[in-house]
Structures are given as structure tokens and as C-alpha cells.
Amino acid sequence: MNQLEQLKQFTTVVADTGDFQSIKAYAPQDATTNPSLILKAVQKPEYRPLLEKAIADNAGASTEEVIDRLLIAFGVEILKFVPGRVSTEIDAALSFDTEATVAKGRELIALYEAAGVPRERVLIKIASTWEGIRAAEILEQDGIRCNLTLLFSLCQAIACAEAGVQLISPFVGRIYDWYKKSTGTEYTGADDPGVQSVKRIYQYYRTFGYKTEVMGASFRNTSQILELAGCDLLTISPDLLQKLADADGAVERKLVADAAADIQKIAMDEKTFRFMLNEDAMATEKLAEGIRAFCADSAKLRKMIDEMR
């Protein structure tokens, strides 16, 4: 078996793309999207008709409503190629507005259900701010499953688990980027700070019996992926899926679901969350940077739609 086939024995493989053909090629269980991936996809000729149709079918709607329908159109198409779930992201501009995030999550699920997609096949992606986590807690109580993204620290992971969210997406590659830039060190294998972060979160969850799924995300190389073999899920870009499919070295399970006696439980409330996040310069900077980047790509998508109307 190649490395991708071996990895699937230990971990649920998810495609991190809005490209249907890539999803079809690698046969993942689930797929994830975000504003950047959707923006990238609609600039390709083969996906332009989805954008044109969303605009034409919603001529009297606001640009935001057109974007919502475009997101759903992509999600519906993606679900034709995966047996599991698709993650659809809420506008990052709502990252600090709990009520607006809840309202948008309900709107997106209603659109999916109107398109014949049951809510069990959708994960609503929300940034792992304190406000976003509170919104996810409310949505989960409504039976709307959530994927908490832009997650860079243990305090974010603990708050998500205690809120009962379905899944978290710790960003391995962006953690690696920050430490590489700040230290000038090329990290590899188990020494990679992004890998270590996910391992720490995974071990904490297993030690204290949290049911929230851990899905490593934002990879820079296959070494990071292979070091997390055994994680609940890993969402992987098409280029790295191809590299795994082309490689035939042995893949070993690196994460196991054992409790660790030396891990102390942290009582998490808003004050503790904000202080711990503030103390972590990498997490603070990367969370803010990620929100800004997603907002920028959403703005580009809005501009593209406005120019086509």
C-alpha cells in the first residue's frame, strides 16, 4: 500500500479543498472548505458556472446572500463525492459576535436542508474565539454540528471540548510557520511545534474523556501528517494527498488513545481563556492573522460578485 492507503488505516482522511476533481481522485471520507479555498475555486473556469448560477438565481438578493448560496452550492456538490461530511465556514467578520454567528449557522443549515442535505452531513466552521466557541455551544444544542477552526492553543481546545463541539481543527502548519520565523529553525518530525501542539491536545482529550474530534489541519509537508497518524482526522490539501499516494514508505500509528497520568486538568472560564491565549504570543498572532486573511478573501469574493452583477 502507498502511504495514503496506510494512513487511512489509522486516521480518517479529509480533503482540504473546494476542487471536486481532487476530492474524487483521493476518495476522502470528508471535505473541508474555507473562504480562501472557495475564492481559489471560483477563479477556475470549471467552477465559474457555480458562481454564475448563484448570482443569476438570486438576482434580487444581497451580496452576502449570494455568497451563502454559493457556499451551499459547493457543499452540495462536494457531498456527491464524499460519504461523510462537508465543512462550510461562517464569515470570519462575525468571529467576535456570538449572536450573529448563531444566526448565520442556523441560516446555512436551513439552506442545506432546503437543498435536501441533512444537517448530520454538515459541519459549520467557526473561528475559535471565545465568542465563536459560545456560538458553537448554542448551535450544538440545536443539533447543528460545528468545526472550530483557527485553533492554535490548548486553551482554545479545552474551551471547545467543554462547550461540546463536534470537532476542532488545530492548525499544524501555521504554528510551524510562526516558530520557524521566530527561531530560524527548520523543525522536522516529532520536534515540529505544530505536531507537538496537536499531540498535546489529543492526549488531553483522551485523558479526560472528551468526545470532541481532533482534526489536524494546515499542513506544510507529509512529515507533519505522518507524525500525526492515529489522530481522529487529518484534513490534507490535494498536493500533499498526491505526495502521500506517490510514496510507499511504512506508516506507523503515532497517536494512541491512552490517558496520561501526568496531565493536569485546567478549569476553563472566560478569564482563564483570555489570559492563557494572551500569554501565548504565537496563538494570539496567528488567530488574529487568520481572521484577517479570511476576511480579506471574503472581501475579494464579494467584489467579484458585485462586478459580475
- Rounded Cα gap, residues 218 and 194, in angstroms: 10
Strand-pair category, 12-16 with 86-89: unpaired
Q: Hey, what's the cell of 191?
A: 520536534
- The Cα–Cα gap between 249 and 41 comes to 32
Q: Which residues are catalytic?
A: 125
Question: Closest Cα to residue 51, out of 71, 37, 33?
Answer: 71
With b for 16 or more beta-carbon neighbours within 10 A and e for fewer, the 47-82 pattern comes to: beebbeebbeebeeeebeebbbbbbbbbbbebbebb
CA distance 215 to 11: 9
